[in-house]
């Protein structure tokens, strides 16, 4: 009986752990699926689309100095509406019709962990 109880507790704990880690990996998975093809898996701007003839370098998300120039709102705009909305290259796609609000919020947080920077406030 005691064993059974312990096993049950262990199972419950384990399942909660996986739920927690699934949530935590959400934003990272979204990043790797949609953004890494250009910005690279680790955010260095070196995804498989960036060949010699790619016209502009996708932002290197690990460059804190550059990333600090952007507020969270700036990031949201460019992610939703694409490069031209911020006078940047159209090679940065508009994702507003593809991603949910929650996914975009998650991405902004994820980019902040990649740059380890807080960004321009306001």
Residues lying near ligand HEC in the complex (CB under 6 A): 34-35, 37-39, 49, 56, 58-59, 70, 75, 78-79, 83, 86, 88-89, 91-93, 95, 107
In contact, 82 and 90? CB cutoff 8 Å = yes
The entry of ligand HEC, other proteins, none near residue 29 (CB within 5 to 8 angstroms by kind) is: other proteins
> Distance between CA atoms of 41 and 114, rounded to whole angstroms?
11
Residue 78 interaction partner, one of other proteins, ligand HEC, none, beta carbon < 5-8 Å per kind: ligand HEC
Please return the burial class of 100, using the count of CB atoms within 10 Å of its CB with bins 0-12, 13-18 and 19+. Answer: exposed
**Does 30 interact with other proteins (rule: CB under 8 A)?**
yes
Neighbours of 35 (CB within 10 A): 23
Cβ 92 to other proteins, closest distance in Å?
7
Cβ-contact 3, 11 below 8 angstroms: no
Binding interface with other proteins (CB under 8 A)? 29-30, 32-34, 36-38, 41, 47-49, 51, 53-54, 82, 90-98
């Amino acid at each position: 009986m005691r064993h059974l109880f312990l096993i049950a507790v262990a199972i419950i704990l384990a399942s909660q752990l996986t739920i927690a880690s699934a949530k935590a990996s959400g934003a990272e998975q979204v990043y790797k699926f949609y953004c890494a093809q250009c910005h690279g898996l680790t955010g260095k701007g070196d995804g498989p689309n960036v060949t010699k003839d790619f016209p502009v370098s996708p932002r290197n998300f690990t460059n804190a100095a550059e990333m600090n120039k952007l507020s969270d709102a700036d990031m949201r705009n460019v992610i939703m509406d694409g490069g031209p909305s911020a006078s940047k290259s159209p090679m940065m796609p508009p994702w507003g019709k593809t991603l949910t609000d929650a996914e975009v919020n998650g991405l902004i947080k994820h980019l902040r962990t990649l740059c380890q920077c807080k960004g321009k406030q306001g």
